[in-house]
Amino acid sequence: MIMDEIAYKIMKTKYYGKMVIWLPKILLGLVVMWPKAKVSLMRRFIVTSGSIFIISFTAIGLLNTLNFTFESINHNLIGSLLIMSCFQGVSKIILMSIKFKDIADIIDNISLKFWPDDLTGYVEVDEEIKKFYIFTMSTCLVFLGTVAVFFSIFFITPLLIEERILPFNVEYSFDWKVSPNYELIYLSQVFYVHILALYVIGTDFFYLCTVVSVIIQFKILQQCLSLLNSNEMVEIMNKLDINNIIKSDKMDDLCKEYLKKCVKHHLLLLRFIKKLNAVFNLIILTEWSTVMLSMCLLIYMLVQNYAVNTFFETALALSMVIAYLQQLAFYCIVGSIFNYQINLLPEHLFGSKWIVINNEIKKDLTFVLQHSQQNLTLNVYNIYELNMVSYLQVLKLAFSVYTLFSNVSN
């Protein structure tokens, strides 16, 4: 499969749970925001500063089109939405730069400490992991391809019109319609969209693929716990090199060491999730706040016919609605899947051959069962959890704010 070959060349591993982050590595690598890339600090500073400058330059042009009067609310909508997109992009650049070392640690954990997909040797588990990986990457590639096709058409169309217009309506203190100002401004808007997409989509995909990697680890851990006190358990221990430290060949001793290894890996995953929450708390909070406010304005624009004046504005508004809905869905869907998988651990452990283990290990199993029922979720500052319930709540809140905004406008 071509996708697997590309992923292998980029990540240098054949395990789906580890190479799932290959796409965000490409996207963030293009803007030198991938922590493990061998890039000089000066080059990273130049690219980051240049990206912020281009986004800010476009934001200033958009800001100049706004009229700060109550009667001009409808006229300001498109410009306000694009300015909020600029804010989202710049905030991600700054926050990702601040969390650079923490993100590098997350990547190291995935590469070095996560278990291989074929650890259990069960074909059913391997196939389930492969299907989950293919579904995730296909979804990301379809979304990325749709964005690329839309903006290609969006930027080519103005060139086919005799009148000199720009994809995004901006105003500057100089005459941008004369050459070479027009060409330079046009080029800056092309760069603006590409830079914004690489940072925003790259960050979203990194979070999505990282959670998918954790979900795959929980699938592996579930299967390992279900094989407690079985012949397959010994094979797994050999793969994990545990036999080197075991001094007894008794099955009870093997079970004890095997259970200890599973508990350590479970604790590793729990610490990993807590760190992931800590790193992305502010990033997701900023993004969701921006998206929610943008959704309110977009709904208002599409419902009120006079809020959109041209084909470009209508097409842009529709595309932004779809993009924002998918952006929220990425976080909430993987959050719901994660919650489901983490709650399956006790079930798989209870399904093992624990009944014939001695009482001492049964006491340990009781502790593991209690510990595995910790209510750890993907969340944002414990304000809300990332699941489909939160997704519906955000949409409900956005519609409520839209209703208020519409009543005030009328």
Q: Is the pLDDT of residue 69 over 90?
A: no
The pLDDT of 77-106, averaged and rounded, is 90
Residue 225 has pLDDT above 70, yes or no: yes
For residue 107 the two structure tokens come to 């990547």
Q: How confident is the model at residue 72 (pLDDT cuts 50, 70, 90)?
A: low
The predicted pLDDT at position 54 comes to 94
Confidence grade of residue 197 (pLDDT, cut at 50, 70, 90): very high
CA distance 374 to 132: 25
Query: Which of 288, 296, 304, 298 minimizes the C-alpha distance to 320?
Result: 298
Tokens standing for 340? 């489901």
pLDDT tens digit string along 335-381? 999 999 988 888 887 877 777 677 777 777 777 777 777 778 898 88
Domain count of the chain?
Answer: 1
Least confident of 126-130, 165-169, 198-202: 165-169
> What is the rounded average pLDDT of the residues 44-68?
90
Q: Compute the distance between CA of residue 397 and CA of residue 216 in angstroms, rounded to an integer.
A: 33
Tens-digit pLDDT profile for residues 105-114: 999 999 999 9
pTM of the model: 0.91
User: Is the confidence at residue 243, as pLDDT, over 60?
Assistant: no
Residue 251 vs residue 168, higher pLDDT: 168
Percent of the chain predicted with pLDDT > 70? 91
**138 is in which domain, residue-wise?**
2-409
Q: Among the ranges 72-86, 220-234, 278-292, which has the highest mean pLDDT value?
A: 278-292
- Average pLDDT on 8-20 reads 92
pLDDT at position 233 is 83
**Residue 163 pLDDT exceeds 90:** no
Q: Which residues pair with 380 in a beta bridge?
A: 384
Percent of the chain with pLDDT over 90: 40
Mean pLDDT of the chain: 85
Structure token pair of residue 16: 């789906």
410, pLDDT greater than 90: no
Convert the chain into a string of H (helix), E (strand) and C (coil).
CHHHHHHHHHHCCCCHHHHCCHHHHHHHHHCCCCCCCCCCHHHHHHHHHHHHHHHHHHHHHHHCCCCCCHHHCHHHHHHHHHHHHHHHHHHHHHHHHHCHHHHHHHHHHHHHHCCCCCCCCCHHHHHHHHHHHHHHHHHHHHHHHHHHHHHHHHHHHHHHCCCCCCCCCCCCCCCCCCCCHHHHHHHHHHHHHHHHHHHHHHHHHHHHHHHHHHHHHHHHHHHHHHCCCCHHHHHHHHHCCHHHHCCCCCHHHHHHHHHHHHHHHHHHHHHHHHHHHHHHHHHHHHHHHHHHHHHHHHHHHHHCHHHCCCHHHHHHHHHHHHHHHHHHHHHHHHHHHHHHHHCCHHHHHHCCCHHHCCHHHHHHHHHHHHHCCCCCCCEECCCEECCHHHHHHHHHHHHHHHHHHHHHHC
- Centre a 10 Å sphere on the Cβ of residue 248 and count the other Cβ atoms it contains: 10
pLDDT value of residue 260:
85
Query: Residue 180: what are its φ and ψ, rounded to 5°?
Result: -90, 10
C-alpha separations of 152 from 140, 146, 159, 194 in Å? 18, 10, 12, 11
Task: Tell me the C-alpha distance between 373 and 4, whole Å.
Answer: 35
pLDDT of residue 137: 94
Structure tokens at 276: 């992931």
Q: Is residue 27 over pLDDT 60? A: yes
Predicted local confidence at residue 349, as pLDDT: 79
- Of 242-256, 265-279, 350-364, the poorest mean pLDDT is in 242-256
